Structure 1
Amino acid sequence: MIPSRGHPLAKALGHENHIIKKIDSSDVEDSLKLTPTICESPFDDTSVIPSNIVFSAIKASGYSVALTGDGADELFCGYSSFGNLNKLEKLLDKKFDFLIRFPGKIINGLLSRFRYFDLERLFMNEKDLLVDLSCNGFKKREWQGIIRSDYDPLHYVTTILKDLSGLRPLDKWRILNLKFKLPYQMLYKVDRASMFNSVEARPLFLNNDIIDAALSISSSVMMEDGQKTILKKLYQNQIPHSGWNLPKTGFGWKTNSYEKIFNDEANSFLKRQIKIDGNALLKRRKMHHKRAYYGLFSLVSWLESRM
């Protein structure tokens, strides 16, 4: 937590036993080096880096159990993707295919030449958009043609979607988050980082009663006043603090030197081992470059550990 926000919050809540850790670049570098050991598999979510630092600080302070907020964004529509999808939802109606989807195939071909424009989602159909949103690292549209394989790594997502026919896109996205991204990305990260530091993480929002209550509220109602508003209103009545008005921020790796972790030498190794050109993938990447570099770093580290 940012000290300027953490101290006033702890004071307002009356918490005397709180931990606020100031993180410097050496903490980040040390944690980055440990991520291959922590994850034991390729994992492209950079938030595992600060997660390890947090659980390490908790352990160093003498605690063995930590409560986490995992599941709140999935249950109460907190991610920015919910807000973005809510705006696009009406355009996903098949009646707009003639006006949007078909001309979009031509427009996308032109836009793909420009690295910093990523407007392809505007022209996707519902299924393709939901699958694209489910990808944390490289999107399928970014690696198609570079990685040649008969295996579809997104078959889990498409299988889940088959059982959700008849639901509106926002409801499908909420369930996809709960069934796919939460267990295989968020909870995996928390479990790995906490257990690495011998800390037991308990995600309090995944209590059965809370899950049942949240899922009894439609996504439409959840999004009436914005992302995660219902949850904020519930807690505002109990915790009066201006922190509720702060914008949602990411919990990832903040750096401008991410390109140092995947260089030409690492790319040559990757091409020798599995015939994948990481630099070609990076050229396809339009946004969130740190995830791309970190994903390749994670893959190379995993391959090296198996040699």
Structure 2
Amino acid sequence: MASTRVMDEDITLPETSQIRPSGVRYIKLGEKGALAETCIRQGIVILQHTEVPHELAANGDWDAIRGLLEARSPDTGTVTRWVNEVQAFYEPSLDTLWVTFHAGHLWWGFADPEVLPAPDTLRPGARFRRMRDGWRKTDLAGNALHTDRLSTQITRTAAFRGTICALPAANQLVRLINGEESPIVAETQRLRTAFEASLVDIIRSLHQNDFELLTDLIFHRLGWQRIGALGGLQADTDLVLVQPATGQRALVQVKSSASQDVVEDYGARFADAEGALPFLVCHSPAGALRPPAARSDMIIWQGEELARKVSEAGLVEWLLEHAA
């Protein structure tokens, strides 16, 4: 069984391989989402159209409901939206996926079919459905669905002025919850990985002076500032850097080649520099290098990871120009 945390309570959820909803509906839980926390905590989805009698909606008397709503608004479009919202709440398929946004997360789940009057303590005249397995704010692999990491194609629905609507990016959202990568993104990732792998040999062809300069440029592009000389006769470091935003210092050793014994040696040299973050940058390691015992916080850039830093820093053109 898998577990997830909903607000301040833990609930246990059944393992799910994938979801395949017949439809996706966004719902605003209360006016401007005012009831979202309560609904998520209680594992329910609520409809606030209190002007529509439960009996009429349960019997599907949509003409009568339209007549009631027309008395409240002269705008045909608004009335039609209201009727559609009530109908969407009362008549969805059991495998309709419901989503909402709250506290910086996207929440999702499936609702039981029974529609019940809400208690007056929640919202007099409202009605609700219980969520099977509650509301979830993670994908099926347990990764949090933070709204600031989601596509605007999905999150823009939060600005919807009504209560219930179809989600335009439904297929994209279902892939996201299932942990399925977009075919376009997957192909781009494949091409990027191949491109970065092609940079490794070019980096290895650099003269040591150019390699030290490249390393300095990478850190500079990533927001670090050098506060000492580059390379030269410094015994333990080739670069001493500071991150202006945080004041964090870094000690960087640049090596064309290195073994794990070399890494351990530098770890011992940096052991007393507790206020500085150690880096080792190496383009031709003798085997896979790992952080040393004396400084387990050492960051090691090597091989394709180093090539990725070159790409992230926008230094591919510089690299091609300085390649031997």
TM-score range, shorter chain: under 0.3
TM-score, normalising length from structure 1?
Answer: 0.22
Q: Which structure would you say has the larger Rg?
A: 2
Q: TM-score, normalised by structure 2?
A: 0.21
